[in-house]
Amino acid sequence: MFKLQIAILATVVALAAEPASAQQAVYKCKDSKGKTYYTQTPPAECLGKEMDELSKQGTVVKKREAALTPEQIATREAEEKRKKEEEERAKEEKRKNQALLNTYSSEKDIEDGRQRALRQAAEATKEIEKRIEEAQKRAQKLAAEKEFYVKKPMPKKLQDDIKNNEIDLKGQQDTLAAKKKELGDINAKYDEDKRRYLELTGAKPKAAAAPKK
């Protein structure tokens, strides 16, 4: 080990003694067999290997990383992708949190918003139920008209009216089912908004008002 240190120092000193115009960087590297090289030009044996650039005093001034294997490249790219996705998620979470704080100034604001949304959904539900009732009445009327054509061809207009009314009724029923589901979604949304708001502001949830006697 001592002899190796002497050899390194001798190489560096010899290079330092050259005229400034002739001085070049000193490179240290190991080949695939573990042999160490100290040269002014990176040797072919160290191609793709880790390499140190040394100063006149023999200290490392620059380190060149070894070339990565395909597996290492894939691992690095996967890690970079993971970090980028985490940063994007954190950025999006921050944006949502700020939007929440800009929307509500108190827990009461959240509850007021919930009641408005539920009221609007309930009104829309009643309107849909009304249209369903009207479609069902039309269906009964059309069915009565259809009875007149048991033994003779049904007019095309009546056929079209029956078909269109069936399509309309099915569409209204599907819309009603979606609207009823929306009522549950509204409560879930405002429950989550309240949870996040209390978490962000550090406020304590207010107890529900006791029913009046």
Percent of the chain with pLDDT over 90: 54
State residue 91 phi and psi, 5-degree precision.
-65, -45
Residue 18, SS3 per DSSP? coil
Q: For residue 6, is pLDDT > 50?
A: no
Q: For residue 173, is pLDDT > 70?
A: yes
How far, in Å, CA of 209 to CA of 213, rounded? 12
Whole-model pTM: value is: 0.54
pLDDT computed for residue 54 by the predictor: 80
pLDDT in tens, 22-62: 456 787 887 777 788 777 777 777 777 787 778 776 787 77
In Å, how far are 140, 189, 205 from 186, measured between CA atoms? Answer: 36, 5, 19
Contact 40, 23 (CB under 8 A): no
Q: Which are the contacts of 36, defined by CB distance < 8 A and separation ≥ 6?
A: 4, 28, 29, 30
